Amino acid sequence: MTQGSRRAEALRLVAALVSILVATAAASRMLVAAWDDHGLVYHLVHGFGRTMGWGINGTVVFAALFGAVVVVAFALDEDKHVQGTLLVAAIALVFVPTLVVLGRWQIDFTTYPVSAVGGVAAGAVVAAVGGTAPPISGGRISFPNAARALYAAVAGTAVVGFIERYLTYESPITVVENTPVVDQVAASPLTPAVDLLAVSALVYLMGYFTRYSDATDVVISSPNEAAEETVSGFIGGLYAAAKRRYGATALEGGEVLNPAANRRHSRPAITSRVAFQYKPGSGAFVRRREVAYENIRPVTGADARAMEAIAEERSSLGSRVWYAFRRQLLLAAPASLRSLLRRSGGAHLDRLIGADVILLLTPLDEIIDQYRVEEGGDFDESWVKTPSYLRTGGNAEDGAYHRIGAACSAASMPDVYVVATDADIALDIHGSDSFGETRFSNFLRSDILGLDVVYRNRVFPVAGAGSEPGSEGYDDVLGAL
């Protein structure tokens, strides 16, 4: 990530937070009016307080401390640390002082110890479910449900408040008898539209703010079942380079990653998910990289067709807006509902579409006829045995890499790169001195792999086992992630 992109991300997050505060201020009048209408939510909240025995003030204490715990858990999450810190600062420096100045901070929390403990306990349970923390997580701190709960609370309050304010009805239950009639402040004809805009902004911006991750998710995919050794060798080499440069640590499958990195010639079999992480630099806006191989199945022509369809769906402004809103709305949904509502073509396709970066492996030792190379002479296309995933103009299953690259050039799609393993074979054929030469890069992309310009500067050669550290090409791959 460049310095410019870090600044851009920082500005987007700060702008989103400021916009959330502005939208909250705009929606607060509507929420107060909705409460004063004494609808169903008003009576349900009072009923909850009476049932628990602590009244409406105790309910406010419960809700406030539940929210505080969720916000703290959100800020502690390694993948949400930046925006969590911004949110805590905004609450402490803007929101709470505003309540004090307006005279709304009138409840003595110490007089409601039971509801306070209940709020803290409920928030802790919600944040802890599905979360990880040392020592059981290898040092990682993650509370994914904190983000979902925070989003659900803010977006849900805004949406329900809008409905309560503008839907005329008699509450089906009555908990508080003889509720006082509150004279509402006269509203202009544009007030409903302003309130709807504020609610929509809160739903969208809070979704973006809580969904943003400090981690770049990198997925590795192989072309066929026979590429198992290629995958093992590449992951081992990449992990070794990441450990050497950035102190990478294994997240899953360390018993496979460490032998693959230390003795790459052995290339241990990968039978389950392996993953490692590293952070290429310091600073608040340097994203952690998480690289994973799922060992589900190779990429196929069906994946390419599905990704083409998804890219087409996201191509227009209207569909991008709908897609963005749909993503935010799904954030607060339970996992079972999210999996039901999301478009799914299986675990492998879902991982590809959900990733930030896709690395498509291409084993050159299977593509280049090494017998012809040993014979010598001038290179020609007969030296290359083009596999189906690189072939074009054939049947519907051909050219998966070409089609995935074209699909991922569209908006809201992952970045995709092709990694050519055992590329020292091609380097010998071309006669270049290093992988970094532009002429060699073009030769590898067009003459060997037959990839078009959509992959310009997106093909990374890496050497086979036995190459000197630093000259293998893995550092270039790390630098692109």
Residue 121: predicted pLDDT: 96
Q: Give the H/E segment covering residue 406.
A: helix 400-407
Do residue 198 and residue 269 come from a single domain?
no
Do residue 132 and residue 262 come from a single domain?
no
Evaluate whether residue 435 is within a structural domain.
yes
CA separation (Å) from 11 to 8, 25, 215, 328? 5, 21, 17, 20
The answer to whether 205 and 23 have CB atoms below 8 angstroms apart is yes
Evaluate whether residue 85 is within a structural domain.
yes
Do residue 326 and residue 301 come from a single domain?
yes
Q: What percent of the chain has pLDDT over 70?
A: 79
Mean pLDDT throughout 126-146?
A: 77
Mean pLDDT throughout 92-116?
A: 75
Higher pLDDT, 413 or 212: 413
Evaluate whether residue 183 is within a structural domain.
no
The three-state DSSP-derived secondary structure of 329-383 is HHHCCCHHHHHHHCCCCCHHHHHHHHCCEEEEEEEHHHHECHHHHHHCCCCCHHH
Do residue 244 and residue 151 come from a single domain?
no
Q: Tell me the per-residue pLDDT of 339-397, one tens digit each, with 9 for 90 and over.
A: 555 555 666 777 788 788 889 998 888 888 877 777 777 787 888 888 888 887 666 66
Do residue 139 and residue 151 come from a single domain?
yes
The answer to whether 142 and 86 have CB atoms below 8 angstroms apart is no
- Residue 139 reports pLDDT greater than 50: yes
Angle at 290 between CA 286 and CA 296, to 5 degrees: 160
Q: How far is CA 190 from the centre of its chain?
A: 37
The C-alpha atoms of residue 286 and residue 279 are separated, in whole angstroms, by 7
- Residue 1 reports pLDDT greater than 50: no
When pLDDT is cut at 50, 70 and 90, the band that residue 18 belongs to is confident
The answer to whether 413 and 311 have CB atoms below 8 angstroms apart is yes
- Residue 15 reports pLDDT greater than 90: no
The three-state DSSP-derived secondary structure of 133-178 is CCCCCCCCCECHHHHHHHHHHHHHHHHHHHHHHHCCCCCCCCCCCC
- Residue 183 reports pLDDT greater than 60: no
Highest mean pLDDT among 166-175, 310-319, 393-402: 166-175
Tokens 């340097």 appear where? 286
Residue 125: predicted pLDDT: 94
Give 289's strand partners: 216, 278
Do residue 111 and residue 153 come from a single domain?
yes
Residue 218: predicted pLDDT: 83
When pLDDT is cut at 50, 70 and 90, the band that residue 115 belongs to is very high
Residue 118: predicted pLDDT: 94
State the total domains in the chain. 2
Do residue 116 and residue 236 come from a single domain?
no
The C-alpha atoms of residue 468 and residue 434 are separated, in whole angstroms, by 12
DSSP characters for 76-143? HSTTSHHHHHHHHHHIIIIIHHHHHHTT-----GGG-HHHHHHHHHHHHHHHHTT-B-TTTTTT--B-
The mean of the pLDDT values for the chain is 79
Do residue 78 and residue 163 come from a single domain?
yes
Higher pLDDT, 320 or 125: 125
The C-alpha atoms of residue 331 and residue 326 are separated, in whole angstroms, by 9
Q: Tell me the per-residue pLDDT of 261-281, one tens digit each, with 9 for 90 and over.
A: 775 556 677 778 888 888 877
DSSP SS3 for 477? helix
Sheet holding 274-278, edge to edge: 249-252, 274-278, 288-293, 215-221, 357-363, 415-421, 459-461
Q: Which of 426, 434, 423 is nearest to 462 (CA)?
A: 423
Do residue 204 and residue 235 come from a single domain?
no
Burial bucket for residue 172 (CB in 10 Å: 0-12, 13-18, 19+) = exposed
Do residue 231 and residue 300 come from a single domain?
yes
Q: How far is CA 77 from the centre of its chain?
A: 13
Do residue 351 and residue 462 come from a single domain?
yes
Q: Give the H/E segment covering residue 14.
A: helix 3-36
Least confident of 120-134, 161-175, 179-193, 273-287: 179-193
Q: What φ, ψ does residue 219 adopt, rounded to 5°?
A: -110, 135
Do residue 427 and residue 355 come from a single domain?
yes
Residue 114: predicted pLDDT: 93
Residue 301: predicted pLDDT: 82
Residue 2: predicted pLDDT: 47
Extract the tokens encoding 82: 């930046």
Higher pLDDT, 305 or 297: 305
CA separation (Å) from 307 to 227, 300, 409, 450? 22, 11, 11, 21
The C-alpha atoms of residue 391 and residue 402 are separated, in whole angstroms, by 8
The C-alpha atoms of residue 242 and residue 264 are separated, in whole angstroms, by 15
Evaluate whether residue 129 is within a structural domain.
yes
The answer to whether 301 and 396 have CB atoms below 8 angstroms apart is yes
Contacts 24+ apart (CB under 8 A), 39-48: 39/164, 39/169, 39/171, 40/164, 40/169, 40/171, 40/172, 40/173, 41/160, 41/164, 42/171, 42/176, 42/179, 43/171, 43/173, 43/174, 43/175, 43/176, 44/173, 44/175, 46/175, 46/176, 47/173, 47/175
Evaluate whether residue 224 is within a structural domain.
yes
Evaluate whether residue 229 is within a structural domain.
yes
Highest mean pLDDT among 3-17, 263-277, 286-300, 421-435: 421-435
Higher pLDDT, 267 or 463: 463
Structural domain boundaries, residue 349: 215-480
CA separation (Å) from 27 to 70, 155, 229, 341, 430? 22, 11, 57, 29, 65
Task: Count the Cβ atoms, other than its own, within 10 Å of residue 290.
Answer: 21
Q: Tell me the per-residue pLDDT of 70-101, one tens digit each, with 9 for 90 and over.
A: 999 988 887 787 778 878 887 777 667 766 66
Residue 388: predicted pLDDT: 85
Residue 120: predicted pLDDT: 95
Q: Give the H/E segment covering residue 47.
A: helix 40-52
Higher pLDDT, 160 or 189: 160
pTM over 0.85: no
The answer to whether 362 and 420 have CB atoms below 8 angstroms apart is yes
Evaluate whether residue 52 is within a structural domain.
yes
The C-alpha atoms of residue 419 and residue 464 are separated, in whole angstroms, by 12
Evaluate whether residue 44 is within a structural domain.
yes
